[in-house]
Structure 1
Amino acid sequence: MDDPELRNLFARRLGRRQLAGLDAAFAVVMIMLMLAVTGNRAGSGGAAPAEIAITVATWLPLAVRRLWPRPVCAAVLAMTAVSVIAGLPPEALGAAAYAVYPVALDVPRRRWLPTPVIGVVSCVVLFGGTLAGPVGGGADQAVTLVFGAAVLGGSWTIGRAVRERRAYAARSARQLADRAVTDERLRIARELHDVVAHSMSLIAVKAGVAVHVADARPQEALDALRVIETTSRGTLAEMRHLLGVLREGSMPDAPDLAPVPDLSALPALAERAAMAGVRVDLDVRAPDLPESLAVSAYRIVQEAVTNVVKHAAPARCRVTVAADGGALRIHVADDGPGTRVLPGGPPPGAGHGLVGMRERVMMYGGDFSAGPGASGGFEVAATMPYETGATT
């Protein structure tokens, strides 16, 4: 079993001071190592003071390479050239490569810098030089300079590649964040549509009843007004919850205000539909559904019943919701006229109701159909597969 403390230690990102401390430690260690190498090559007399000064001046600036990358790079390159001319160990080229890397990370991208070409040429030179082996005679210094240029080119290429990778990761993170915001807005828009469409349809039906019976049956008109009052208050409360999500959702300690109705809320939905003259017969056999699927199922049934209220009331409606352990099936059928057009209203499918139901079903890779039933009325059918045992 993995040790969580070790995993957290290596997963933690080092701070700027810690990285600067590592650079300083690296510079000190390399100075000591280079002085030892220089002293061994010089023999019993040890390294000359000039050699010591050049070695220190070459490696010491690397301690602050993250603070001032460009000045440090210029200083180290100059001292590396002096070191090569003075015949000091060629390991000083490592200091130059170490100084070039943060500059490659810091410099903005420019089209005239052929980084891919630099990388390819550097690889060819390094690989070819390794295969060729040491070169004797007076060509040693020239070969060292060419090899050093290839090392610098490789360091530059690696730095540019890391910079591009970080930029790509940042762009991907921004795109994911923007996509998450868009998805959340679409979800809230669907929720608002479902809430408002259902409630306003019920209010419109009851308002029409109240107008027609106000003179002849005032008590019935009063009952209709009570239904309107109750429905409107409930709708306003639910809309406040939804708007609260937009207002408080970015706060880490904000409570979860999003309404999450599930199949247990279907009886209340049937009661509200009955107030508008639509009798709903429920047959729900879907225990232990994932939460998100239960919410989508409720919204699909709500929209389908709302359409019955708007287009077919008074009518009778049968709602069947059944799960067989691998798929959830929803079927809503009414005995109305079989059309979904109000006088002067939009043509079938022009509204957001059927589109919203279809989108919810498509999220799960399911099948959706809506249209006149074979024996009259209108039917809505949806099948949504899901994984058993899922809880979200």
Structure 2
Amino acid sequence: MIARLHLYLVDATAALVIWVLVAYAMLEPYDHASPFVAVPLAGLVAVPVAVRRWWPVTALAVTLVATALVVMTQVLPVIALGAPVGAVCFALYTVAVDRDRTWSLAALVATIFVTAGLSGGEVESVLVAVAALGSVWAIGYTTRLRRSMLERETAQAAEQALADERLRIARELHDVVAHNLSLIAVQAGNAAHVRSPEHAYEALQVISETSRAALTEMRGLLGVLRSDADLAPSPGLGGLVDLADRASLAGVRVTLDVRGEAVVPEGIGLSVYRIAQEALTNVVKHAAPAACTVLVEVTTEAVRVEVADDGPGVKELGVGHGLIGMRERVAVYGGTFSAGPGDGGGFRVVAELPVR
């Protein structure tokens, strides 16, 4: 708003200067000229410059007609034609910037025709008009092209950002589905093998709650992918408690320890959440029933997350999407990642993400 007001003030100042110059050019050669005639006619030439951004074509037409009027009625001598031509150049530039090529070229031809005719119509006058007014038009049209390119680049950048965000959300679907289906599968297996109705009921209750939570989160993500709705907030460190509770329902005794009070950027918080989610999913699938410790240390320089369990461990690391996804999340921030058997048995995942 302030920038626009500044431009309007510049236009008003330019119009005032041209008004004074044109009026002076009318009054100077003739001591008997009446200011009551010269000042209004000079205003008719100059005032359109102040409103050229609102009505560019109208401003050019009025300025051009007024210039022709004062010259043809000999109120303004031809030798002083430069002052009103300055107003014409202002208006022509605005037409070249704001109107398409057809309109601006038509305005250029009309302006050259009138200006060259008023100055005598000689070849030299035509060449001077073509050179001066053509340069003004070229500058304005180049400005229009540059603005158009910037608008397209801005629109493309916005579309790319939205596409990237939707791709990120699509990847989040994998984490949501994998985590919750793993919990459901474990509890379904428990329900199929237990003989106690109470234990079967507890397993089915976990399946029911986990299914509803997964469907709710997936509906939100798919809603963003299928529409232009606002993107929902991403889970972060605050969601680790619910994550640990869901894993506990699947038979994994989770101890959560979050240390530090520093503010964590949203992207890093989401990555820490997903790394912990994927690590807990692996514990549920491969080590349950087991005890698991989730340690998150937050400092001003980095966020470190460690997930360790006391299960049977693995003989060799797999190549599933879980570990690959965790490595990718850490690599985005230039952090470090390791996963493998723990010193005292079980399996241990450690990731450190620097806070930039």
Q: Normalising by structure 1, what TM-score?
A: 0.66
Q: 1:58 to 1:182 in 2, by over 3 A?
A: same
- The residue identity in structure 2 corresponding to 1:360 is R
| CA deviation map 1:189-209 (0-9, x unaligned) | 344333332121101111011
Once residues 146 and 52 of structure 1 are traced to their aligned partners in structure 2, the CA distance between those partners, rounded to angstroms, is 31
* Other-structure match for 2:287: 312
Once residues 339 and 30 of structure 1 are traced to their aligned partners in structure 2, the CA distance between those partners, rounded to angstroms, is 87
SS of 1:287's partner is coil
**Structure 1: gaps (5+ residues):** 1-7, 114-140, 342-346, 388-392
* Other-structure match for 1:30: 18
Once residues 96 and 79 of structure 1 are traced to their aligned partners in structure 2, the CA distance between those partners, rounded to angstroms, is 8
* Residues 240-319 of structure 1 mapped to structure 2, 5 A cutoff: 240=219, 242=221, 250=229, 258=233, 260-263=235-238, 265-290=239-264, 292=266, 293-319=268-294
* Residues 21-60 of structure 1 mapped to structure 2, 5 A cutoff: 30-31=18-19, 33-41=21-29, 43-46=30-33
Instruction: State how many pairs are aligned.
Output: 332
* Other-structure match for 2:298: 323
* Other-structure match for 1:123: none
Once residues 231 and 25 of structure 1 are traced to their aligned partners in structure 2, the CA distance between those partners, rounded to angstroms, is 69
- Given that 1:104 and 1:159 are in contact with CA atoms closer than 8 Å, whether structure 2 keeps it comes out as yes
* Residues 150-165 of structure 1 mapped to structure 2, 5 A cutoff: 150-165=131-146
SS of 2:350's partner is strand
* Residue 307 (structure 1) shift: 1.7
Once residues 76 and 339 of structure 1 are traced to their aligned partners in structure 2, the CA distance between those partners, rounded to angstroms, is 88
* Other-structure match for 1:93: 85
SS of 2:253's partner is strand
* Other-structure match for 1:3: none
* Other-structure match for 1:104: 96
Identity of aligned residues (%): 44
Q: 1:151 to 1:367 in 2, by over 3 A?
A: farther
Q: 1:155 to 1:333 in 2, by over 3 A?
A: same
Q: 1:28 to 1:303 in 2, by over 3 A?
A: same
Q: Normalising by structure 2, what TM-score?
A: 0.71
* Residues 102-251 of structure 1 mapped to structure 2, 5 A cutoff: 102-108=94-100, 146-213=127-194, 216-240=195-219, 242=221, 250=229
1:365 to 318, 322, 334: 334
| CA deviation map 1:57-104 (0-9, x unaligned) | 865776775536289469829956995996331423313312320232
SS of 2:254's partner is strand
**Structure 2: gaps (5+ residues):** 106-121
* Other-structure match for 1:348: 319
- The residue identity in structure 1 corresponding to 2:202 is D
Once residues 27 and 322 of structure 1 are traced to their aligned partners in structure 2, the CA distance between those partners, rounded to angstroms, is 65
Once residues 28 and 322 of structure 1 are traced to their aligned partners in structure 2, the CA distance between those partners, rounded to angstroms, is 66
* Other-structure match for 1:382: 351
- The residue identity in structure 2 corresponding to 1:44 is D
SS of 1:280's partner is strand
| CA deviation map 1:320-345 (0-9, x unaligned) | 3223441122222343442689xxxx
